[in-house]
Amino acid sequence: MIEADTSLKVTGEAGNGQEAVNLCRQQQFDLALLDIRMPVMNGLEASKLIREIYPDMKILILTTFNDEDYAMEALKNQVNGYLLKNGEIDELHQAIYHCLDGGLIIEGKVAAKVMPSLIHSNTSLDAVNHELTERELSILSLIGQGHNNQEIAEELFLSIGTVKNNISGILDKLDLRDRTQLAIYAIRHNLDRKE
């Protein structure tokens, strides 16, 4: 399915989560595509280990489980996407490109279960008065809407470098780790609403 898009190539396969982690130690990958239920080590454990060892690798969960707990744990492990296997092949290709481009993608039915919990949860992302500039607020809003750096640059008429620099500044000001946390922050504080 992946290689139906000739620009994408599968360069390694593993039978379980432990094999996936070991394979990542042996060769370099742009993206790891993991299932949830696997023998020996499941995809959630594997995603956590891969993220710890290779913080820049993109991780996309592809599963049959439209389960809030699984999705929440995957997001805590800082995956770049959570898709269901019943989607169309084009959706898989677009999700892979979206993740590779720095975006966060959550399948709609999963998002419908997860977002209310994120919005109402008492996590470390509670509102604090931060001095974000108008530009930073605009970028944060677009991240909350799921846009990648290229799309943000086009929307705000900025260079990708400027967008990346602003995102780094926002992460510092909000004391957050990564883009996933920024997206959650934006959603919890209603910054993801389109004007």
Least confident of 40-44, 50-54, 124-128, 132-136: 124-128
pTM of structure: 0.64
Number of Cβ atoms within 10 Å of the Cβ of 61: 29
Task: Look at residue 35 and tell me whether its pLDDT is greater than 90.
Answer: yes
Predicted local confidence at residue 119, as pLDDT: 59
CA distance 121 to 123: 6
CA distance 135 to 16: 44
Q: Are 115 and 193 in contact (CB under 8 A)?
A: no
Average pLDDT for the chain: 85
Task: Look at residue 46 and tell me whether its pLDDT is greater than 90.
Answer: yes
Residues of each domain in the chain carrying CATH 3.40.50.2300: 2-120
Residues of each domain in the chain carrying CATH 1.10.10.10: 134-188
| pLDDT tens-place string over residues 118-144 | 655 544 434 444 578 888 888 998 998
Predicted local confidence at residue 167, as pLDDT: 94
CATH 1.10.287.3510 fits 2-120, yes or no: no
CATH topology of domain 134-188: Arc Repressor Mutant, subunit A (1.10.10)
| pLDDT tens-place string over residues 134-180 | 888 889 989 988 899 999 999 999 999 999 999 999 998 888 888 88
* Tokens matching residue 41: 């080590």
Task: Look at residue 7 and tell me whether its pLDDT is greater than 50.
Answer: yes
CA distance 101 to 89: 19
